Structure 1
Amino acid sequence: MKDDSAFAPFRHATFRELWLGTTVSNTGSLIQGVAAAWTMTAISTADHVALVQTASFLPVALLALPAGALADIHDRRKVQMAALTLSLVGAALMTLVSLLGMITPWVLLGFCFLVGCGGALAAPARGASVAEQVPKQLVPQAVGLNNISYNLARSVGPAVGGLIVAAVGATAAFAANVFSYIPMLVSLQRWKRPAEVSRLPPEGLLRSISIGVRYVAHMQPVRRTIGRSFTVCLMGAALLSLMPLIARDLLGGTARSYGLLLGCFGIGAVSGIFVLHPLRARLGNENTVRLCCLVQALCLAVLSLSRSTALDIAVLLPAGMAWMVLTTTLGVAVQLSVPRWVAGRAIAMSSAATSLGVAVGAWLWGLMAKETGVAEVLLWAAAGMALSPLMGMFLRVAEGTASPEPDDRPMADPEVRLGIGGSSGPVSIELQYRVPQRSAEDFYGLMREIQLSRTRNGAYDWSLSRNIADPELWSERFTCPTWDDYLRLRGRRTLEDSRLQQRALQMHVGLEPIKVQRWLDRPSASLQWREERADSSGAMGQPM
């Protein structure tokens, strides 16, 4: 197996065991999904059938940000174990209620939502921990294989689910999902994840969420990619959410037919691993996404016209391949554009956009199908997917090829002579530069880049001033909510951030280094008061 092959991550035991556990868990979830969707067709109408997809995906949209923050500030192994235990409990309760004959449309949707909450809380921790299980050069392949895990389960789970529902009933399918969580929990228990030691206390949940949102908001390629994920998933949700109705209304089939269609879609998705990396390498992320959208549009159009099971099977194979390559490319683009400290939150926001698109799309397409019919809705969805490549003009997918490297070089500790604690603040930082007037325009452009760097990493109220009496003197100023937040900001810098600061250092002239001053903005609560002093302790390295 080549080191850069699509399957190279399997050479690493931890990744391999967790991948197998995830695959079993995903299979159980899809068995439950088939049982829930088919049960809904028997007890309610088309809009409720589509809401099964909404109930399953909506938790990701609602819980993504807290889940991402938990993944970044707590042990990712323990977060996954707690979340999967919640899903197991929800699945067990669903089985019990079904066994007692108490299933109603809203009860079924409620339990689907509860099980989905556990999966939503686990997903960012699982995605962010990939970089801890394989070398960094194998992260794209590992992300692709994790997507394949779901789609491999999709190729088996729905067919098995359909057989179980047809032969034994939905209750047995719900019970199968309960047991599917056990291998993953055992694999997580066996993972000896090294403990991370930090000099700083864990960041608060709300503060962590805020910082994650700010990072994405000030990182244009990531922001655009997440926006694109939402829109294409809104259009693409029609196929998966209406597949039970395709099987029942257009093909006149049974639960077994629905499982067969989902299985063929999953087989196509699994085969996508063989074209994912060649396509990304040759076309780039943006063109790969455009191609997949066009393939999806063509498949939706054919499905709307087809009344043949054989033709639908043939069409669902490329549809599954295109969907897998599309969603994986968008996910990889986000993950390879952010540093590790915010990876969980970025992955969470990407997952939220994807799941919100699917949830809202499933609801809208279900309402339309109830009014106009399944075939007509599929045609509308095909038209939307065909036009979606035009969004590349303003929501272009990021072309990241490697995650930003952290700058692990030690920085000099800031000089502190005032009695302050980690929660003291706000803290304002001022850096004074002396730049020749002939370089003023270049320096201003550089500082705009540094502004984005500072705000992504947690700074507020960034400003740049120029001295009226001495035009060569510039002052950069920004604020952190507390002293601990300022120390975290210093530790979040990447090599690119350091290169920007180094360029600013090179533009500074004069015999004195860049002057750095740190101010406690509300000093009344400090234990001791001493005159604030200019501090240049970090001037020889990174003066911050």
Structure 2
Amino acid sequence: MPEATTAPPAPKVTLWTPFAYSVFRAIWIAGMVSNVGTWMQNVAGVWLVTTLTTSALLVALMQTATSLPAFLLSMPAGAMADLVDRRRLLLFTQGFMSVVALGLGALTLANGISAYGVLGFTFLLGMGAALNAPIWQSIATELVPRQALPSAITLNGVSNNIARAIGPAIGGAIIAYYSAGWVFVLNGVSFLGTWAVVYFWKRQPTVTNGPAENFIGALRAGLRYVQYSPAIYGVLVRTFAFAFGAAAMWGLVSVVVARRLHLSSGHYGVMLSWLGAGAVTGAVLMGRAGSRLTFNQRVLLGVLAFVGTNTALALVNQIYVLYAVMFLSGIAWLMVMTSFSTTVQLSVPKWVQARVISVYMLVFQAGLSVGSLVWGELADHLSLQTALLAAAGWMLASTLLAFPFPMRSAEGLNLDPAEHWPDPTTESPIDPDDGPVLVMIEYQVAPADWAAFHQAAEQLTRLRLRDGALRAGVFADVAVPTRISEFFYVATWGEHQRQHHRFTREDQVVEGRVRRFHRGPEEPRVTHFLAFPNTSNVEVATPIPTLESQR
């Protein structure tokens, strides 16, 4: 008898595994160069406004000008990234940001720019970044396998933070010896480099099953998915709370350096460089010991670190001590942000990934925008120290969110399409826009199993609503109580067809728990009802008539 052979163990995934994939490696390098230009731009823009105005509020509004476009455009950008070719969108966004940065550089070199002008150009760059970000975040899933995705997300964070370590120092030196205008010009050139790499990327075309979604429907589908996904919802709450408190550091650190410590732009650049160096160190530490900490523990430690960051910026006067504080803050920043991003990307299937990422980024940028405005107003009307200490208090209070909104591990989820639902039998072809559609699934459930069946059915109902149903629930036959019917109500026939392809292997497990309670001789009976006569497309939930309303 031949000896049984076993497959060799899969190679261990390390932090550096994604670099084995050439396209990821090329895009990562191009992205890092562009990130260096972006951080040079951030330093130059904030310092230029600091020198052009005496208002701490206008300086803090630079963060708002960067973040507000994401609040306005993240969802449309996410929908477009899921509906159209991502490569073409990247070419457009990179080209747009290059033109804007070069224009700002030309005006600055010609001494034709004001503080409000810098804010305006920063807002335009923020628009480009908002359109670009969901696409850039989601393409990692196309470049590396799922098991290497956490490492790819961490490396993308490393890219940004290496740039944060290098960019501010380079930007500060150029400002000191030349002009902020040259920083803006170099940033514009860095976008052109990324444009060239994306241009030569031979992206595999995406195959979609079912009728194509329209833009408005895609937006609603993304929001609906988040609404009925508790794990994603919890991440969003924690993200906003963290970003709101961390905005005090990002929005006011230049004011601390210039107004409280009376130091130069070079010191401001070095402060941000220490922050970036800490983040890079944090990536290496997480690669070696990150598995020992859960996402919940990582976020909690990071939040507590930022309590210390805001307190130190308010009270510490020694610049070298603040360098060390910023280094530790960089470790905390990377630890928290990669935990949030990894959880989101591993928790959603590909069909809605960019839209959910866009919601996550919208909430993050909203926290930064609102936080910058609030802490800037406090600094202007009370004092800089009061604003920073209030932000520290907020961060400390936000640690309590770990109890109602814990971070759940998503690494073991199987989000491949199940594709196990057979196409409904129809007498004649049905137009995808016909509807509404009512789907009934009939079970035979013993009275002793009713409580457990109801609990399992509640989870399945949430999945129906998440994937496109406007209304869903479970009813028992009053004449035959053991006959229980699950129903869900969908706007159109095309939307129900999309539901078939949205159901994942992980969802199939939930459905299996419900079906285990079925005691009939045959499989549960599935019936489809189309509105009679056909009605126009219904995109919002409508009340179901009750007996009392019909009397």
TM-score when normalising by structure 1: 0.93
Distance in 1 between the 2:521 and 2:446 partners?
13
Partner of residue 216, structure 1: 226
CA contact (8 A) 2:78 2:354 kept: yes
Read off the aligned partner of 2:241 and give its amino acid letter: T
Partner of residue 349, structure 1: 359
TM superposition shift of 1:280: 4.3
Q: How does 1:464-543 map to 2 (within 5 A)?
A: 464-524=474-534
Change (3 A) 1:480 1:467: same
Partner of residue 262, structure 2: 252
Change (3 A) 1:280 1:218: farther
Secondary structure, counterpart of 2:293 in structure 1: helix
TM superposition shift of 1:101: 2.9
Change (3 A) 1:369 1:483: same
1:231 to 228, 241, 247: 241
Q: How does 1:30-429 map to 2 (within 5 A)?
A: 30-44=39-53, 45-277=55-287, 280-409=290-419, 411-429=421-439
Cα deviation, 1:415-458, whole Å, max 9, x if unaligned, reads 12234212222222111112222222222111111101111111
Distance in 2 between the 1:158 and 1:374 partners?
23
Partner of residue 22, structure 2: 13
Distance in 2 between the 1:315 and 1:63 partners?
34
Distance in 1 between the 2:323 and 2:489 partners?
58
TM superposition shift of 1:172: 0.8
CA contact (8 A) 2:209 2:501 kept: no
Read off the aligned partner of 1:498 and give its amino acid letter: Q
Distance in 2 between the 1:229 and 1:525 partners?
42
TM superposition shift of 1:374: 2.3
TM superposition shift of 1:383: 2.3
Aligned residues: 525
Which stretch of the first structure deviates more once superposed, 509-518 or 10-19?
509-518
Secondary structure, counterpart of 1:429 in structure 2: strand
Distance in 1 between the 2:208 and 2:70 partners?
29
The CA RMSD measured in Å over matched residues stands at 1.8
Distance in 2 between the 1:135 and 1:145 partners?
14
Distance in 2 between the 1:417 and 1:163 partners?
74
Distance in 1 between the 2:153 and 2:26 partners?
15
Secondary structure, counterpart of 2:474 in structure 1: strand
Distance in 2 between the 1:283 and 1:18 partners?
30
Secondary structure, counterpart of 1:460 in structure 2: strand
Change (3 A) 1:508 1:403: closer
CA contact (8 A) 1:285 1:399 kept: yes
Structure 1, unmatched stretches of 5+, are: 527-544
Indicate the percent of aligned positions where both proteins have the same amino acid: 31
Read off the aligned partner of 1:490 and give its amino acid letter: H
Cα deviation, 1:10-40, whole Å, max 9, x if unaligned, reads 1111111111111111111111111111111
Read off the aligned partner of 2:20 and give its amino acid letter: R
Read off the aligned partner of 2:200 and give its amino acid letter: R
Cα deviation, 1:59-108, whole Å, max 9, x if unaligned, reads 11221111111121222222222222221222222223323433222221
CA contact (8 A) 1:26 1:150 kept: yes
Say if 2:41 is the partner of 1:24.
no
Cα deviation, 1:234-272, whole Å, max 9, x if unaligned, reads 011111111111211122112212111111111111111
Read off the aligned partner of 2:43 and give its amino acid letter: V
Distance in 2 between the 1:237 and 1:517 partners?
53
TM superposition shift of 1:300: 2.4
Read off the aligned partner of 1:13 and give its amino acid letter: S
Read off the aligned partner of 1:413 and give its amino acid letter: D
Which stretch of the first structure deviates more once superposed, 148-157 or 280-289?
280-289
TM-score when normalising by structure 2: 0.92
CA contact (8 A) 1:229 1:353 kept: yes
Cα deviation, 1:351-383, whole Å, max 9, x if unaligned, reads 111111111111111111122332332222222
Read off the aligned partner of 1:501 and give its amino acid letter: E
Distance in 2 between the 1:403 and 1:161 partners?
43
Distance in 2 between the 1:179 and 1:87 partners?
10
CA contact (8 A) 1:335 1:403 kept: no
Read off the aligned partner of 2:475 and give its amino acid letter: S
Read off the aligned partner of 2:453 and give its amino acid letter: F
Read off the aligned partner of 2:438 and give its amino acid letter: S
TM superposition shift of 1:475: 1.4
